[in-house]
Structure formats: structure tokens, C-alpha cells
Amino acid sequence: MKYYILVLSLFISSILVGQTQLEAFISPTLTNDIYQTPTSQSSKVDSKYNFGFDVGLGFRNYFNKRMTLGCGINYSKMGYGFDIELNGINRSYNLERYFWEVPVLFDVFIGNKRKIAFNLNLIYQFFIKENSNFDEYVYGTDSPTDITRKLNLAIQSGFTYQLDIYKMFKIRLNPFIKMALPSQQIDYTTSGYPVYRQDWSIGLKTSMVLDIIN
């Protein structure tokens, strides 16, 4: 409940106080995982890159000429996969994972022209569903059980270039990296030991922005 109260408070402050920036965005992403296995086990995990996306809305309030704080709502798809060698046996695993995300947005502009900013976002990820595609030749009926928490946390950081288009309209280009916190656990029915996963992605967030002065 406290997360919803925080988001609602930020939303109201963004709309009613000072200069507000509203944005709609899409972010193509390249996603992957960091996998860790017990060092005592004879196994090797090779994670594979995949493609995903983030789309959503954001609200920011200027507290002074250089700092903004706000929130948003995103829909996120993150694709993953890996090949694992376990005691000489190769296994393949691919999946797509979907989230609703509620980011707390913090920007610091460099200089007085509000062109370039450093951003740091704390993201609450609400797990929706997972689509898996297993290698039937390798697995047959034996597939892993992927444990994903219903509520996850992630940190996203990057730099933004803001371009004026017409009066209150702007375009923002934001290359970023997003890293899930903390690592999550995958249990394998065949191995009998846990493998730990940390999700991450890189992307380019492209936003159409409207500045409103209240």
C-alpha cells in the first residue's frame, strides 16, 4: 500500500505544483541475464541476448532550474534465454517476461539550458506473465521452474538529450541501462541446485514531451 501512496503523491505534486513535464515514450531494448551457479557444480551457463521494449507515460515536476522529480507507468517486455551445459549435457531455454512498471523519476540537468540531464530511476516491477519456449529435443517433458517475484525492484540510469521542437513541445532521447535488484532464483528439476538470475537491459528511450507551466 505504501508504494501506491508514494506514486499517487508524486503524481498529484507533478500536476498541481510548479512547471510540469508530461511525456509519452517507447524504448526498444536489448535484454539479457547474469546467471550464477554454485562453484562446486559441474555446469556452464551461457546467457543469450534478446529484444524487448518499454512503453509508457511519465510526469515530472521542476523543483528548480536543474532538478525534476516525478513518476510514471510503463508496460515492459524483457526477453531472455540461455544454453546450459550440465555434466556434458546441453540444454536450451528461452522465455519472454512481462511487467507493469511504476518508476520514480529523478533528473539533474547539466547547465542552464536544460539540454542534457543525468537520470536515475527507482522502478517497481509488477510481474504479469511469462511465455516460455523450450527446446523439446533437449528437455522432452523435463523443463525448469522459473521463480519470479510478484514485486521486483530495478535501478535505471542514463543520460538524456532534450531537443526543443515547437514552443512547449520537446523530444527527449535517453540511452539507459536497467538492472534488477536483487538477484532472483531459478530452480532446476534436473540439477537439484539453484541458479541465481539478475535481469538487465540497455535501450534508447524516445519521448514526446509537453511542458506545462501552472
Given pLDDT bands bounded at 50, 70 and 90, which one contains residue 73?
A: very high
pLDDT band at 19 (very low <50, low <70, confident <90, very high): confident
Query: Which CATH number fits the domain that encloses residue 183?
Result: 2.40.160.20
pLDDT at 12: 57
**Segments forming the whole domain that contains residue 57:** 2-213
Q: What is the mean pLDDT of the chain?
A: 77
Stretch 57-69: mean pLDDT, rounded? 86
Which of the four pLDDT bands, split at 50, 70 and 90, describes residue 148?
A: low
For the chain, the domain total comes to 1
Query: What would the pLDDT profile of 198-210 be if each residue is shown by its tens digit?
Result: 788 999 999 999 8
| Predicted TM-score (pTM) of this structure | 0.77
- Cβ contacts of 101 within 8 Å, gap of 6 or more: 54, 56, 72, 73, 74, 75, 76, 123, 124, 125, 126, 154
Model pLDDT, residue 214: 52
Give the lowest-confidence range in 42-51, 130-139, 159-168. Answer: 130-139
**pLDDT for the residue 154:** 92
Per-residue model confidence (pLDDT) at position 156? 95
**Quick one: average pLDDT of 98-102?**
93
